[in-house]
Chains A and B, each alone.
Chain A
Amino acid sequence: MIAGYHPLVKQVLDGELSLADLPPELRAEAEEAVRLVQAADRAPVILSSAVEDRVMAVVRGHAASPARRAWRWINAPRDIELRLRVRPWVLWGGALAAAAVLALLLTRPTSSPGPETRVASRDSVLVRFVLYAPGARRVAVAGTFNQWDRSAAPLVPAGTSGVWTTTLALPVGQHQYAFVVDGERWVVDPGAPAVNDGFGRRNSLVAVTAHGTRAL
C-alpha cells in the first residue's frame, strides 16, 4: 500500500524527488513502489451497455418518485396575480398611520442622554484616571460617561501613597468629568484642561479616540 511508504518515497512517486535524492536505505523501497505504479493498468474502463441501462433505470425511477414530484411542485416558482380593491379612505388612513410611526421614530429622543447613548455603537477605550488625594477616605470619578453618578466608578488607593486610580472603558467621544472626594467634594483633574460647568465650578475634559486617549 502506498500509505505504508516512507514520506520521501511518496515524494518520489509524486515526482518531487528522484531516486538519486533518496538515502541508500530507502532506494530499494522506492524502486519497488515505482515498479508497482508503472505496472498499473491505465487503460480506460469500458462498461457494458447493460450496466449503463441498469444505472439509468435507477436514476429515472428516483427522479420520478411521487415524493420528488411533490417537492418539485411545491418548490417551483409560479406567477401569482393579486388584485386589491380598497376604498380611498383606507389608503389615506394607512398613509397617515405610517407617517405617524415614522414621525415618532424620527423625533423621539434616545432613552438615556449623554455620550454613552450617542456613541454606543462605537468602540470603547480603556482610560486610566489618577488623583493624588492624601487623607481621602474614598474617591470616585463621575462624568458624562456615567450620568454623573458619584458611586459608579470608585478609585482604588495605591497603598498609602495618597494616589488613587481606576481604569474605565469609555466610549469614543469627548467627556466631561470630575473627581468626588469623600462623597461630597468635587475636584477637577489637575492634569487635564477644564471648562466652566455652568454652576460656577469646573469640569475636566477628556477625549477618547479609537486610537487612544487625549487629554482634551
Chain B
Amino acid sequence: MNRCSLLLRLIVLAVVPGALAGQDVAKQLDGRVSPDVRKAVVTIAADAAARGLPVAPLVEKAIEGGAKGVPADRVIAAVRTLAGRMGDAMSALRAAGVVAPSGDVVEGGADALNVGLTSSDVRDLVRVSRPPYDASLTLRVAATLVALGVPPDQALQLVNAMIKAGRSPGDLLTLPAEVQAGVGGGATPGQAAAGLARAAAAGRPPVPPGQAKTGKPVNPHRP
C-alpha cells in the first residue's frame, strides 16, 4: 500500500466519526426544533465534537429552546454560548491538570461559569477535587450555592472547608439545602454559608442558622 492510500484512509477514519455524529445530532433534533436551528446546531455540535467537547448538552439546550417556544435566533445563540462556555471550562480543566476530562465534568464547569464563577475558580475547584470528591460534583455544588445567592468567594470557601474537614461527598450535596434552610431562618445566603464553613472548620455537624430547632433541611422534593 502506498503512502497516499494510507493517508487517505487515515483521513477517512478521522472524518467519518464526525460526520456520523452530525447525522446523529440531526436525527435527535428532528421534529423538535426548526430547520434553521437544526442546521446551526449540527454545525456547532460538529465543531464542539472536534474540540473534544460533549455534544449532548448542546442538543439538550436546543431541544429545551424548542419546547419553550424560544425564537430560533435565541436558541442558536444560547447553544453557541453554551459551546463557548464548555470550551472555557475545558481550558480551565486542562489548566488544573486534567488532560481528558469527562463530558460531565466539562458540563459542570460550564454550569459554574454560567452562574458567575471564573475560570480560575473552576481550575481551583478541580484541583481540590481529589477522590472521593468528583470534580463535577464540587463544581455543581459551588454553582448551585452561587445560584442561591451565596457570593462566589464564600461558596468556594465553603466547599473548600468541607473538603478539608473530610466531609463526605453526600455532605457536600446537602450544602445548598442547608443554605436554603438558613435563609428560611432569616440569614442571608452569605451568612448561612459562612456559618456552615465555620462549622465545617470546627469539625461540627453542619447546622446553619434557622435549622437548629427542627434539624430538618427545607426540601420540597423529598420523596
Contact = CB atoms under 8 A, between A and B. Distances in A.
Contact of A213 (B13, B32, B111, B221): B221
B193 interface: no
Contacts of B211: none
Interface in B120-146: 140-141, 143-144
Nearest to B180: A215
A92 B3 CA distance: 13
A174 B141 CA distance: 10
B176 A109 contact: no
A85 to B, nearest CB: 19
B132 to A, nearest CB: 13
Contacts, number: 147
Given A108-B20, A211-B170, A216-B141, A199 B56 contact: no
B140 A215 contact: no
Interface residues of B, number: 57
B60 A114 contact: yes
A128 interface: yes
- B-side binding surface: helix, strand, loop or mixed? helix
A2 interface: no
B143 to A, nearest CB: 7
Nearest to A109: B55
A128 B219 CA distance: 10
Contacts of A89: 1
Contact of B56 (A109, A198, A206): A109
Interface stretch (A10-18, A26-34, A143-151): A143-151
- A-side binding surface: helix, strand, loop or mixed? mixed
B56 A113 contact: yes
Nearest to A190: B220
B188 interface: no
Given A96-B9, A201-B68, A196 B114 contact: yes
A198 B82 contact: yes
A190 to B, nearest CB: 9
B151 interface: no
Contacts of A186: 68
Contact of A113 (B55, B141, B170, B222): B55
B24 interface: yes
A112 B28 contact: yes
Interface stretch (B73-81, B86-94, B156-164, B200-208): B73-81
Interface of B: 1, 9, 12-13, 16-18, 20-21, 24-25, 28, 32, 49, 55-57, 59-61, 63-70, 74-75, 78, 81-82, 103-104, 111, 114-115, 140-141, 143-144, 147-148, 170, 173-174, 176-177, 180, 217-223
11 contacts: A103-B16, A114-B60, A128-B221, A148-B60, A150-B67, A186-B68, A192-B221, A193-B176, A207-B176, A212-B223, A216-B140
Given A108-B17, A167-B223, A198-B82, 6 more contacts: A148-B68, A184-B69, A199-B78, A214-B174, A216-B140, A216-B176
3 tightest A-B contacts by CB?
A: A191-B220, A113-B56, A198-B78
